[in-house]
Chain A
Amino acid sequence: MIEMSIFGGLLIGLASVCLMLFQGRIAGISSIVYRAIFHLKFESWALTFVIGLVLGPLLVAAFNGPAAPVIDLAWWQVLLGGVLVGVGSRLGSGCTSGHGVCGIARGSTRSIVATLTFMATGVITVFLMGMI
């Protein structure tokens, strides 16, 4: 699994390079999804990128990659988590990809601060969930 994580990370890095090289855009998924849904008229390429993201696992399956994960969370975690991820990625102008990969690669202090912040609150949240 460790090798697959490194390989997957290389693909994500390569995709981030390609999106900037070919289209001049940062591969920040939260903002691309927002554009695909709410600004589709002006940024229709964003929807095409989102469709590509969904095709990813099919490519992996075609090459006999890892099977689909079993997702078994409590519904309150899914729904509350979703709302908070939506609010937070908009307010904080980015998510794991935009800040955590592209932002850090760009050497943006803003993204480094954002990444350390969401990792810290993520660690605290998981720790507190373990106590209930």
Chain B
Amino acid sequence: MMIYITALATGALFGAGLAVSGMTDPANIQGFLEITGAWRPHLALVMLAAIAVALPFFQWVLPRLSKPVYGAAFLSPLSTAIDSRLITGAAVFGVGWGLSGLCPGPAITGIAYLEPQIFGFLAAMLIGMKIADRLPSPSAKA
């Protein structure tokens, strides 16, 4: 039960952060990526502030803890491979991010605004995730 309460509360905190910082406005994302135009620094500030809070925890506190408050173990990504799958995925992600000014967090949080384009984006994103699941793994081919 507690994990549902913490999941809801941390989700709301994260969503509030996205909304208050202007990240749910695609114009701020595209404005950040438009380095030759009227550059908008918001995204850089959001990322730096978030990292400033998270980095000390992940680097210095987490290694001293044995397990999470509610849960069996800390689950961190195990892969350290920098392979074609990672690069291709990130490159494709960036094109979609630039085209729409949206990424998964702000799009989910944006549901609250009841904008038709947010729902369109999310439907397309879920289809894209399923398409990726059907793509052959590059490591299997190589």
Interface set of A (CB-CB < 8 Å, partner B): 1-2, 4-27, 29-30, 33-34, 37-38, 44-46, 48-60, 65-66, 68-71, 73, 75, 77-97, 99-110, 113-115, 117-127, 129-130
**In the complex the two chains form, is B90's CB within 8 Å of A113's CB?**
yes
* Chain A CB within 8 A of B142 CB: no
* Chain A CB within 8 A of B92 CB: yes
B55: nearest chain-A partner, CB-CB: A105
A86 and B9 CA atoms in complex are apart in Å by: 25
A106 and B10 CA atoms in complex are apart in Å by: 19
Considering only residues 5-60 of chain B, those with a C-beta below 8 Å from chain A are: 6-27, 30, 33-37, 41-43, 45-55, 57-59
**In the complex the two chains form, is B51's CB within 8 Å of A104's CB?**
yes
In the assembled complex, how far is the CB of residue A127 from the closest CB belonging to chain B, in whole angstroms? 6
A31 and B96 CA atoms in complex are apart in Å by: 17
In the assembled complex, how far is the CB of residue B49 from the closest CB belonging to chain A, in whole angstroms? 3
B45: nearest chain-A partner, CB-CB: A5
In the assembled complex, how far is the CB of residue A20 from the closest CB belonging to chain B, in whole angstroms? 7
Grouping DSSP codes into helix (H, G, I), strand (E, B) and loop, the A interface class, with mixed when no group exceeds half, is helix
**In the complex the two chains form, is B104's CB within 8 Å of A45's CB?**
no
Q: Which of B3, B65, B67 has the most CB of A within 10 A?
A: B3
Is the interface on chain B under 10, 10 to 19, 20 to 34, or 35 or more residues? 35 or more
Residues of B within 8 A of A87 (CB): 89, 92-93, 96, 128-129, 131-132, 135
| Residue of A29, A54, A60 touching B104 (CB-CB under 8 A) | A29
Given contacts A71-B118, A123-B98, whether A10 and B7 have CB atoms under 8 Å apart is no
| Residue of A18, A73, A106 touching B13 (CB-CB under 8 A) | A18
A123: nearest chain-B partner, CB-CB: B33
A6: nearest chain-B partner, CB-CB: B49
A11 and B128 CA atoms in complex are apart in Å by: 29
Residues of A within 8 A of B7 (CB): 19, 23, 45-46, 48-49, 52
Residues of A within 8 A of B26 (CB): 69, 71, 73
A83 and B26 CA atoms in complex are apart in Å by: 16
B40: nearest chain-A partner, CB-CB: A1
Considering only residues 48-97 of chain B, those with a C-beta below 8 Å from chain A are: 48-55, 57-59, 62, 65, 67-77, 79-82, 85-97
